[in-house]
Structure 1
């Protein structure tokens, strides 16, 4: 690879995967790029609006990075097809529907459809969340071997809430339940304000994406969760049938 280009992209991916803005020192530590090398790269990315710099000397993703990402999403026909089914999921559940893929050992949220609710969950395309705390993450890795899952999850299972699974053996037990059910739950493991259910989207026996419905706690009844599961399973089947009858390359989605 071309080393200077690789450094630029590593910086962008690092900032995209972090919830908080980062200082130059923090970016250097996370990317393993010397501060003297990183400084002019950051200045150029800020000047070209791929990064934004806050007054306290912290950096975040800028507007032009968003524009590039949106252009990618709009140009991906299979993603647009899935989003059309996500719209139907929202119509039937009246809750937010999200699509995620596995990227850099995290769940990357690649699309979402919002319901017509006066009070709804806040989420955004482009965020990264841990595999072990999310319903999407659990179905994305449920076909992997135990050793592969351990490698993907890593050693540092930081809790997001008091309900987050932080022991790898407990997580592997959870994956066995996912294998038996064909769907997964996030029961306040990512946020105490919501519950979530997800299903895998598969092609040729391989999980290529995952689709979920998230419900605020005050609307999250057993009946509503059960309905969300049935709706997701129905549209999972339709999406996978579409893949079966159309020429599809994994690169078209990710």
Structure 2
């Protein structure tokens, strides 16, 4: 393999590091974590901020991911046939239930949000396209972990499970028991585990026994009812079947293939 371009590799490492921390990092923190001299790092960070790939907070002195990255992500999604097909299904779901619908993939122990369709009266969520969220705290995460064995779950979460609310599952055993319910139900659920006053329902997208992605609907508790949840489950299940049929004859192992 040919030698990699060092500056380009640095930029990729910087973006990957900062994207995994919603609070962002200071110049000094990035320098220490990536072992890059400040004199070399500073102009890279300033350039990324100039082009809106990073945002710079003059009070905290921290750099965080900004809209430039999201626009690139959006362009990738628009040019991807599978993601486009799923997005069309998500639009139909939102058109029928008028609640936020999201698409995510698994990235280690977190959900990476790939697409989001807002409702006409959306609630404020802690997630958006390009953002990552602990998999144990969300219905999307549980759906994405559906095919994992108990042993595999322990490998995914070698340390403590992150807690977001008092309802968050923080035990591998409890998480596994919740995930295996998908076998019987066909969908995953969570109620105020990732965010107060919100519950979610999600379905996995499966091909060749591999979970490629998951789709979810988030419902604020003040608008929730069993009738509404049953409708959302039906909508998600129908869309899941359509997506899985669409990709059934494709030689893919990712929705980005």
The TM-score with structure 1 as length reference comes to 0.89
After TM superposition, the structure 1 = structure 2 runs for residues 64-143 of structure 1, keeping only pairs within 5 Å, are 64-117=68-121, 120-122=123-125, 123-143=127-147
**What residue in structure 1 maps to residue 205 of structure 2?**
201
Asked whether the 8 Å contact 2:82–2:256 carries over to 1, the reply is yes
Cα separation, 2, equivalents of 1:252 and 1:226? 27
Q: Deviations over 1:79-113 (max 9, x none)?
A: 01110011111122221111000124310110011
Cα separation, 2, equivalents of 1:221 and 1:19? 33
The total of aligned residue pairs comes to 251
Q: Deviations over 1:120-164 (max 9, x none)?
A: 344421111001111011111110222221121231212100100
Asked whether the 8 Å contact 1:96–1:121 carries over to 2, the reply is no
Over the aligned positions, Cα root-mean-square deviation in angstroms equals 2.1
**What residue in structure 1 maps to residue 227 of structure 2?**
223
Asked whether the 8 Å contact 1:45–1:51 carries over to 2, the reply is yes
| Cα distance change of structure 1 residues 159 and 114 upon mapping to structure 2, 3 Å threshold | same
Asked whether the 8 Å contact 1:107–1:130 carries over to 2, the reply is yes
Cα separation, 2, equivalents of 1:148 and 1:98? 25
Q: 2:52 aligns with which of 37, 49, 52?
A: 49
Cα separation, 1, equivalents of 2:91 and 2:251? 21
| Cα distance change of structure 1 residues 35 and 157 upon mapping to structure 2, 3 Å threshold | farther
**Is 1:33 aligned to 2:35, yes or no?**
yes
| Gaps in structure 1 of 5+ consecutive residues | none
| Gaps in structure 2 of 5+ consecutive residues | none
**What residue in structure 2 maps to residue 155 of structure 1?**
159
Asked whether the 8 Å contact 1:24–1:35 carries over to 2, the reply is no
**What residue in structure 2 maps to residue 10 of structure 1?**
13
Cα separation, 2, equivalents of 1:62 and 1:226? 37
User: Cα distance, 1:248 vs. partner?
Assistant: 4.6
Asked whether the 8 Å contact 1:99–1:112 carries over to 2, the reply is yes
Cα separation, 1, equivalents of 2:31 and 2:190? 33
